[in-house]
Amino acid sequence: MRALPCQLDFFATEPLKEGFRLTIGKSIHAYLRTTRIEAAADLISAGASVTEAALAVGFENLSHFSKAFRAEKGVLPSRYGAV
């Protein structure tokens, strides 16, 4: 029986995902989210608005961005500059 291309991709990526998690300490998705939030925090600290920062790092939904930011930083992005 031949595997479908999507099945091959799934199995080929599992070692990559596991290796990344073992090396970095978090999943690829979590690492990318952390990186995006850090970039947004830098923008906010430099004077960008929350909306500008969210859009600049690829978030289209401001509510989702605020929740992700708070999960990473422990504070809402609108209060981040005041910290």
Give me the number of domains the chain comprises: 1
Indicate which CATH number applies to the domain containing 43: 1.10.10.60
Secondary structure (DSSP) of the chain: -PPPHHHHHHHHHHHHHHHHHHHHSS-HHHHHHHHHHHHHHHHHHTT--HHHHHHHTT---HHHHHHHHHHHHSS-HHHHTT-
Residue at 66 is within a domain: yes
pLDDT tens-digit profile, the chain (83 residues): 455 555 556 556 888 889 889 999 999 999 999 999 999 999 999 999 999 999 999 999 999 999 999 999 999 999 997 65
pTM of structure: 0.78
Judge whether 13 and 24 are in contact, CB under 8 Å.
Answer: no
Q: Domain range spanning residue 61? A: 26-78
Mean pLDDT, all residues of the chain: 89
